[in-house]
Structure 1
Amino acid sequence: MSKELENSIEIKELFKAYDGKSKVNVLQDINLDIRSGEFFILLGPSGCGKSTLLNIIAGFISKSGGDLFIQNKEISGPGKERSMVFQQPDAALFPWLNVRENIEFGMKMQKVSKKERSSISDKYLQLVGLSEHEKKLPEELSGGMKQRVQIARVLANNSEILLMDEPFGALDAQTRRTIQQEFIRIWLHTKKTIIFVTHDIQEAILLGQRIGIMSKGPGSFIESIYDVKLPYPRDITSQNFNEHYKMIQSHFEINSNTNNRFNVDEVSEII
């Protein structure tokens, strides 16, 4: 099987339950195959379990049942082949390290030479617009700037799988659009496997090859998957883009008052 057809991530009948007065399934019957090099979007309303699923794939949260394979190996914890950008940057940055040191931390742990670390961090400091803030500590940064440090660090670490939990949500509109466009350029060049969580339909269509729509929780599942056949870079003002937007928006409107399940095997292709 060619690398393009291999699955980086395979999920079979996965569920996650939290014990309390009554046992509640946060996720239920998650079945998903993500191909190597694919840009996959998890789209759904707040509280539907998108971040929980992403954290299980990252190895930070244990699943309650089902199977999860990363590159044909069953996983039960974090791995160096996966890097994650968290929704809340304060949970990920080291407060005693400055911006450049945070970006270089993973490379330092991998014994990358100081000269090479410096060159790589220069590149990503410039990308995220933080070159003039490289010596600042996280406490001196705004929320959006902290998130940009996270993004730069993940890109600098050069992991094969990138897990991104609404990474651009705290950025201003102009910076967000710039980094979205640059991120697509980097992905097209590197063909890393990306799982990107968002509740923004426009962002999902702008970035993703496939969009997995999650149902409302609890007991959330992937109720439908859309193939997006638009070429990159994508124009949010085009008629085709707007048709995609209306189709996915109508999915939420149609299913907002129903609990009927969709067959995930019935994939909708957007032409």
Structure 2
Amino acid sequence: MFQRREVPRHVFNESIVGPRDRIKQHFARTPWYRTTWNTSRIKDVRRFTETPRILLDRDLFRDTWIDSVHLPESDRWERVINGQRVTEDRYFLVEDEGELHPINWRVYSERVNKELQESMKALPQFTQVLVCCPVSWKKLDVSLAMARGMSVREAKVQLKLGGKKQHQIIYRCLELAEHGAVNEKGLERDKLRIAKITCYRDRTDVQVDIRSKGFFNWKTKRNATMLITVAEDQQMKLPDRTKLPWWVQDRLARNQFPMNDVTLDVPALSSEGI
């Protein structure tokens, strides 16, 4: 008798009851964006599945400088690689005057990261990390793509107009980043541009258990971490917002509004008072 192959559950539009992770699926891995046969990548949305299948010995793979997040990862790689070694310590081979000197891996990468950190602090930019945004990181990632490369002002307007939870969260993080850039780094507010905006998943999505009302359900807690770097763009020129557009002036003139400048004879406020 013909036995049906085990297929992903959306093929026959059925739900799998029971331990789904124990079900063997023998088929080719499909990339994350492949929902139907003719789908292509979403523009500007990057997933974090493009990891190298092999970690080279001298490679700092995604060793970013947010140590609270990324230390455990490099630690895990440490254990994997050091488990393969015969000698006790892992080392970099650093070239100096044509000779390769073995240098302790941990010391070397700590120093490299420290130098990078110092040079990043000197740059005219400010980085804001928002931990535990209550959104699924995939949704957040898709809506982040909109704001990439925008000026901070324009992005804030666009995010205020988008009526989604993700947009409000990004807006808040952008506000904090702008605040930090202006107050801590002393950057110029209307020259700020989004240099880098990305998100990754928070701590392992916890299975929150909602068993009230007689349901036997598990709900996944949605968490994401967002990272926004705001940089000062020296070339940025803003449009002159003090002038009304010609069609506004035209309509005002048609409706017989006086278009001459209003000067009020009120003494200015000075430091001594009125």
Q: Which has the bigger relative contact order, CA under 8 A and spacing at least 6?
A: 1
Task: Give TM-score scaled by structure 1 length.
Answer: 0.22
Larger radius of gyration: 2
Q: In proportion to residue count, which structure has more strand?
A: 1
